[in-house]
């Protein structure tokens, strides 16, 4: 049973230093939440959700981001119970629970009676990191996507998302939000692709970014071109761009059953540094 010295509350700009100390414990695991904190300064209107803090004996020990995703950070069993209780009382507002596997799966065990059933539970998603030049030769045809190429990028990105997540990102608003987010990444120089005859055959984006790490997402190879090692040279090129221009470490997480992708990332030089899980609704 939790003691009276524990508490959970919503955090704000005055808590920024304490929050950063928690995030600094695992900068290559907690990239998404750290990127939100870094970009917003915990100003609520810029955070895109809420950040909850778990305190024990007056010290901030754990965090949980509550927005489109529910994301625990450095959450031990006591923190998981308190975050799950708060989430249950507020009702499900997220499309997924994602983060370190132990905390996510424990949180889901507590939330399942209130929120279940899940559409899918991916219990093991290795987190991988690269912080040095890749040993593979980067594909010289992989480059940043230009703003005038967004109409070519969107169909490839929708195909990737639908294949990976199992639902289309266009189902609720016709894809307006998804297109806007892709446009934002393109303008920031964080969308990369190889174009052959005007069509994208490989693509990836750098989503979350902090001063210490960035996270690659949306890796996709056109189905009829799979087996040509495009992902190896493509990811090597993305890594070179990211390490040079974006952050000192590149991270990603991948489904454990995607053996081909995991092998491609290993060839590029990525090594496993943790394990995520995702519960999708």
Are 36 and 77 members of one domain?
Answer: yes
User: Does residue 126 lie in a domain region?
Assistant: no
Residues 109 and 149 in one domain: no
pLDDT score recorded for residue 3: 52
Please give the tally of structural domains in the chain.
2
Ordered alpha helix ranges (H), the chain: 16-23, 31-40, 44-47, 77-90, 101-115, 150-165, 176-187, 230-245, 259-268
Residues 81, 187, single domain; the answer is no
Tell me whether residue 131 is in a domain: no
Considering the domain boundaries, does residue 136 fall inside one? no
Instruction: Report the C-alpha gap between 29 and 23 in whole angstroms.
Output: 9
**Whole domain around residue 242: which residue ranges?**
142-275
Query: Which pLDDT score, from 0 to 100, does residue 172 have?
Result: 86
CATH of the domain at 188: 3.40.630.30
Residues 99 and 169 in one domain: no
Q: What pLDDT is attached to residue 29?
A: 97
* pLDDT of res. 1: 41
Whether residues 194 and 265 fall in one domain? yes
Give the pLDDT score at 78.
97
Residues 109 and 147 in one domain: no
Q: What is the DSSP code (8-state) at residue 141?
A: T
- Same domain for 204 and 108? no
Sign (positive or negative) of CA dihedral 70, 73, 75, 79? negative
Do residue 148 and residue 222 come from a single domain? yes
In terms of domains, do 94 and 34 share one? yes
CATH number of the CATH domain containing 113? 3.40.630
CA distance 186 to 144: 8
List, for the chain, all residue ranges whose pLDDT scores fall below the cut of 70.
1-4
């Amino acid at each position: 049973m939790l003691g009276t010295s524990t508490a959970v509350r919503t955090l704000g700009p005055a808590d920024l230093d304490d929050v950063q100390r928690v995030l600094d414990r695992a900068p290559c695991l907690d990239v998404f939440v750290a990127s939100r904190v870094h970009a917003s300064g915990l100003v609520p209107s810029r955070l895109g959700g809420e950040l909850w803090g778990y305190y024990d004996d007056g010290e901030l020990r754990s965090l949980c981001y509550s927005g489109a995703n529910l994301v625990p950070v450095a959450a031990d069993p006591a923190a998981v119970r308190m975050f799950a209780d708060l989430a249950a009382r507020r009702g499900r507002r997220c499309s997924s629970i994602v983060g370190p596997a132990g905390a996510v799966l424990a949180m889901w065990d507590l939330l399942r009676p209130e929120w279940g059933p899940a559409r899918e539970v991916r219990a093991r998603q290795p987190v991988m990191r690269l912080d040095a030049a890749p040993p593979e030769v980067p594909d010289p045809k992989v480059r940043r996507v230009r703003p005038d190429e967004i109409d070519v990028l969107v169909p490839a990105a929708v195909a990737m998302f639908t294949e990976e997540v199992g639902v289309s990102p266009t189902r609720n608003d016709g894809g307006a939000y998804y297109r806007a987010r892709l446009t934002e990444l393109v303008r920031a120089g964080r969308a990369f692709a190889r174009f052959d005859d005007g069509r994208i055959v490989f693509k990836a984006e750098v989503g979350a970014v902090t001063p210490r790490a960035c996270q690659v997402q949306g890796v996709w190879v056109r189905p009829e071109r799979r087996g040509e090692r495009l992902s190896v040279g493509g990811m090597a090129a993305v890594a070179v761009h990211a390490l040079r221009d974006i952050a000192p470490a590149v991270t990603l997480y991948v489904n454990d059953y995607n053996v081909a992708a995991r092998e491609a990332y290993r060839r590029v030089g990525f090594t496993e540094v943790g394990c995520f899980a995702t519960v999708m609704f």
